[in-house]
Chains A and B, each alone.
Chain A
Amino acid sequence: MSSGNGYKVIGTRPIRHDGVDKVTGRAVYGGDTRLPGLLYGQVLRSPHAHAHIKSIDTAKAVALPGVKAVLTGADLPEAGDTIVDLGEGPARLKYMSDNVLATDKVLYSGHPVAAVCATSVHIAEEALDLIEVEYEVLESVLNVREAMQEGAPQLHADMTTQEFGEDTGKTSNLATHFQHKLGDPDQAFASADVVIEREFQTATVHQGYIEPHNATAMWNSDGQITIWTSTQGSFTARAQTGAVLDVPVSKIKVVPQEIGGGFGGKIPIYLEPIAALLSKASGQPVKLIMTRPAVFESTGPTPGSYVKIKMGANKDGKIVAADAYIAFESGAYPGGLVGAAAMCVFSCYDIADGLIDCYDVVLNKPRSFAYRAPGSTQVAFATEHVVDLLAAELGIDPLEFRLKNSATTGTRRIDGVVYPKMGCKEVMEAIRDSDHYKSAAPSGSNQGRGISVGYWFNVGLQSACTASVNSDGTVSLTEGSTDIGGSRTSIAMQFAETLGLTAEDVKPQVVDTDSIGHTDVTGGSRVTYATGWAAYKAALDVQEQLCARAAQLWEIEADQVKFEDGTFSSGDKSYTFKELAGHLDETGGPVIGRATVNPDSGVGGSFAANIADVEVDPETGKVQVLRFTVIQDAGRAIHPSYVEGQMQGGSAQGIGWALNEEYYYSDNGHLDNSSYLDYRIPTCLDLPMIETIIVEVPNPGHPYGVRGVGEANIAPPPAAMANAIGNAVGVRPQELPMKPGRIVAALATGG
């Protein structure tokens, strides 16, 4: 099998190494953890969106037969006023701790206030009903612009607005304000022939992974804590748990179990410290699994947003100026996602002058966290809408207009950064060259086609790999990146390619925090890039050691041995990798390759694009996707099937975000739709086949040219859908979701 790209393994489609376990039900996910003497935990959550906790009385719960321990926020160590960066962006430890278990105040409906463990999950649940919490209910605020107003209910009495390293000393719900400015936007707008400005709103949406959060912990009497959990980053989970429990990381071992989806939402911790403290109190292992309503009410959604975009262009079709005002709902505690939005908002275009003004705002919703290209979708929805309007106003085809203004290698973004080699234009050209775009747009009544592009910058961070050569010529590869979507295989393939092995010759394994070097989260589209790079370097280490072993056997110097196409040779003597692996015992014993990376440069960003054909039922406002294509620059597709899978998955999530997904709060701040029944992620019947086109503009910063593909694909879909709806019925929605009632209302008023 060969991929036709000059590689033997990269670009092929082997069966994933963990596949059989996952289709037979044998793979052990976090919730499947079973231990002798296991107790079951449950968490009591606030019914109020905003309240002071006046008192908590747990006496009746403690007295219930079968209950082994009860916990409140008072049982967590006092969190100092320190800032910690534990792999999911900087945060105040106090905020992180209070989000695990509230102390003085609850800040959202679903905020944890107490926890119980018992001999059965049902007894634990009965015990929750016996905990008496007295609240003083406060007025809540649930919309970003209302939260920014003077006199809005204030969540944190001591929170002051930070302006790029400066504390303004002003208390409000505005956590952070920052700006990027390039050139002279005022003058550039004055020179523009056409200027279009629009306002946009997007609802809070959830990552929606099917597996609920879970954690099982055993706190041994010697102070050693073991935590079995589903996490995107075992080291990050360890660091966060250690910080909240005020325990050194060396006392904690995190065993990452298989993880049932994350999309950014399983980077933060929720249950881990609770499970640990309940175990400490009971002396037994404790397992907690979140209920589905709790997952929606209490775990990281992505921010709702208010965005205003102004763009100006010349008659010849060049965009000359762009302004963005971006306000993000960070939820109950400050977050860092609006920074990413700022980097993405005009990322697809070459614009010389612009201003990006950003606000991070707290309000009475769960603390928002990363969700696949966090922040990019909200702003792509806005920008791509205005780009279509500009093209229409200028009488230029929207794709031609995008191509004419495409950012490219060397373009300076408004946040100042200059692009290294990248594939924005290639992705746009792939729209033009696709079967889908070349086929006639659907021409039935209320049918239309829309396009859009989007970006995610990807990250590098730390990874480690070790590789033990087995005597039969296979290699056991250990790594610390938890595998959410087949990354074991994409890492093993890079290792195999480097040593001339087959993918099947490499046995990849995700191990616990005591068994591998620090490895950052499975997020930021970094695993195939950075852990793959570590695997590549570990393979080179193995290669070097094996050259020395061959040299020993041939009684020559190591530099006289060369390695090519999986064979070690010197003159007419040669060993295949497998042959040489059989001689390790006689040449000094085992060979273990190892490598770590923490790339300072070379992270290649990825662009994605969509073509969407839709039909709108004007009587009901319902939108059907008739045909959908996703295009993305993968740099180099290691395992094309899983690259396509990422692209299709991001598309489906983006379509859900576009059409129906939203947090629906009642006026008193209760989340009304905390179930899969009413939080409507797309079903099988809601989607067509999703066509994929992989563009490969190799990333010069990676040995195999990899760009992470996990995220950029969620940025363009809502915009493509809005543009398609606009072309179908003449009304281009400015608010997500574009749900049926909203479409009907817009059609009735003509906009």
Chain B
Amino acid sequence: MPIAWIPSLMQKLTGGQHQIEVEGETVRQVVEALEVLHPGFKDRIVEDDRIKTEIAVAVDGEVVASGLRAKVGPESEVHFLPALAGG
């Protein structure tokens, strides 16, 4: 199962859990699964059915442009990071 890494400032929501294994083949499914386990999670990450603009999602170390639709493999790691500006 993919592993979602929980940002430290969101770990209050997950009872201190850093990493949570959840079912899912897309980022959307991972987020929905986290919402079931820890209600309120989705609202922190998603707005208007999109990843919030101030947040970026990385799958296996790479920030994905396709957001909630990005594919997640069975061994994947999903990270939630602050969105970035480049030079």
Q: Do chains A and B touch in the complex (CB under 8 A)?
A: yes
Please list the residues of chain A having a beta carbon within 8 angstroms of any beta carbon in chain B.
Answer: 83-85, 88-90, 162-166, 176-181, 263-264, 267, 335-340, 342-343, 355, 358, 369-374, 415-420, 459-462, 521, 523-526, 598-603, 710-711
Assess the B86–A521 pair: CB atoms within 8 A: yes
B10 at the binding interface (Cβ < 8 Å): yes
Assess the B85–A600 pair: CB atoms within 8 A: no
Q: List 19 A-B contacts (CB under 8 A).
A: A83-B54, A90-B53, A164-B9, A165-B45, A176-B82, A179-B7, A263-B87, A267-B85, A339-B81, A339-B83, A342-B82, A343-B84, A355-B8, A374-B86, A419-B61, A600-B64, A600-B70, A601-B62, A711-B86
Assess the A459–B55 pair: CB atoms within 8 A: no
B77 at the binding interface (Cβ < 8 Å): yes
Q: Closest residue to A420 on the B side, CB-wise?
A: B61
Q: Closest residue to A376 on the B side, CB-wise?
A: B87
Least Cβ–Cβ distance between B31 and chain A, in angstroms: 12
Assess the B83–A85 pair: CB atoms within 8 A: yes
Assess the B65–A374 pair: CB atoms within 8 A: no
Q: Closest residue to B52 on the A side, CB-wise?
A: A165
B17 at the binding interface (Cβ < 8 Å): no
CA distance A130 to B52 in the complex (A): 45
Assess the A601–B86 pair: CB atoms within 8 A: no
Residues of B within 8 A of A462 (CB): 65
Nearest 4 A-B pairs (CB), nearest first?
A524-B86, A264-B87, A89-B85, A165-B44
Per-position 1/0 for B63-84, Cβ under 8 A of A: 1111000100000010111111
Assess the B8–A179 pair: CB atoms within 8 A: yes
Residues of A within 8 A of B81 (CB): 339, 343, 415, 417
Assess the A373–B8 pair: CB atoms within 8 A: no
Residues of B within 8 A of A711 (CB): 86-87
Per-position 1/0 for B16-49, Cβ under 8 A of A: 0010000000000000000000000001110000
Residues of B within 8 A of A166 (CB): 9-10, 44
Least Cβ–Cβ distance between A460 and chain B, in angstroms: 7
Residues of B within 8 A of A370 (CB): 85-87
Q: How many pairs, one residue from A and one from B, have CB atoms within 8 Å of each other in the complex? A: 129
Specify which of B7, B53, B62, B86 is in contact with A180 (CB 8 Å cutoff): B7
Residues of B within 8 A of A358 (CB): 82
Residues of A within 8 A of B59 (CB): 600-601
Residues of A within 8 A of B43 (CB): 165
Knowing A165-B54, A336-B84, A523-B87, say if A416 contacts B62 (CB, 8 Å).
no
Q: Closest residue to A339 on the B side, CB-wise?
A: B82
Q: Closest residue to B67 on the A side, CB-wise?
A: A600
Least Cβ–Cβ distance between A262 and chain B, in angstroms: 9
Knowing A600-B66, A600-B70, say if A337 contacts B85 (CB, 8 Å).
yes
Knowing A163-B9, A164-B10, A164-B55, say if A417 contacts B61 (CB, 8 Å).
yes
Q: Closest residue to B79 on the A side, CB-wise?
A: A416
Specify which of A89, A165, A599 is in contact with B10 (CB 8 Å cutoff): A165
Specify which of B8, B52, B85 is in contact with A181 (CB 8 Å cutoff): B8
Residues of B within 8 A of A83 (CB): 52-54
Specify which of A84, A339, A601, A602 is in contact with B84 (CB 8 Å cutoff): A339
Assess the B85–A461 pair: CB atoms within 8 A: no
Knowing A89-B83, A336-B82, say if A178 contacts B7 (CB, 8 Å).
yes
Specify which of B9, B44, B85 is in contact with A336 (CB 8 Å cutoff): B85
Residues of A within 8 A of B45 (CB): 165
Specify which of B53, B66, B79, B86 is in contact with A415 (CB 8 Å cutoff): B79
Assess the B9–A178 pair: CB atoms within 8 A: yes
Residues of B within 8 A of A339 (CB): 81-84
Residues of B within 8 A of A521 (CB): 86
A-B contacts besides A180-B7, A337-B85, A343-B81, 10 pairs, CB < 8 Å: A85-B53, A164-B7, A165-B43, A166-B10, A181-B8, A339-B81, A339-B82, A418-B77, A524-B86, A524-B87
Residues of A within 8 A of B84 (CB): 89, 336-337, 339-340, 343, 459
Assess the B44–A374 pair: CB atoms within 8 A: no
Specify which of A336, A524, A598 is in contact with B54 (CB 8 Å cutoff): A336
Residues of A within 8 A of B86 (CB): 264, 340, 370, 374, 459, 521, 523-526, 711
CA distance A343 to B44 in the complex (A): 21
Least Cβ–Cβ distance between B82 and chain A, in angstroms: 4
CA distance A710 to B65 in the complex (A): 21
CA distance A162 to B52 in the complex (A): 12
Least Cβ–Cβ distance between A697 and chain B, in angstroms: 16
Assess the A461–B7 pair: CB atoms within 8 A: no
Residues of A within 8 A of B55 (CB): 164-165
Assess the B79–A177 pair: CB atoms within 8 A: no
CA distance A415 to B7 in the complex (A): 9
Least Cβ–Cβ distance between A701 and chain B, in angstroms: 8
Specify which of B8, B54, B60 is in contact with A418 (CB 8 Å cutoff): B60
CA distance A267 to B84 in the complex (A): 14
CA distance A711 to B87 in the complex (A): 7
CA distance A370 to B85 in the complex (A): 7
Assess the A374–B82 pair: CB atoms within 8 A: no
CA distance A424 to B80 in the complex (A): 24
CA distance A544 to B87 in the complex (A): 36
CA distance A525 to B45 in the complex (A): 27
Specify which of B5, B54, B60, B80 is in contact with A90 (CB 8 Å cutoff): B54
CA distance A180 to B82 in the complex (A): 10
Specify which of A264, A420, A599 is in contact with B65 (CB 8 Å cutoff): A599
CA distance A179 to B12 in the complex (A): 13
Assess the B87–A418 pair: CB atoms within 8 A: no
Q: Closest residue to A462 on the B side, CB-wise?
A: B65
Residues of A within 8 A of B83 (CB): 85, 89-90, 336, 339
Least Cβ–Cβ distance between A325 and chain B, in angstroms: 14
CA distance A20 to B62 in the complex (A): 39
Assess the B54–A601 pair: CB atoms within 8 A: no
Residues of A within 8 A of B58 (CB): 417
CA distance A526 to B8 in the complex (A): 30
Least Cβ–Cβ distance between A42 and chain B, in angstroms: 29
CA distance A43 to B86 in the complex (A): 28
Least Cβ–Cβ distance between B59 and chain A, in angstroms: 8
Residues of B within 8 A of A267 (CB): 85
Assess the B87–A178 pair: CB atoms within 8 A: no
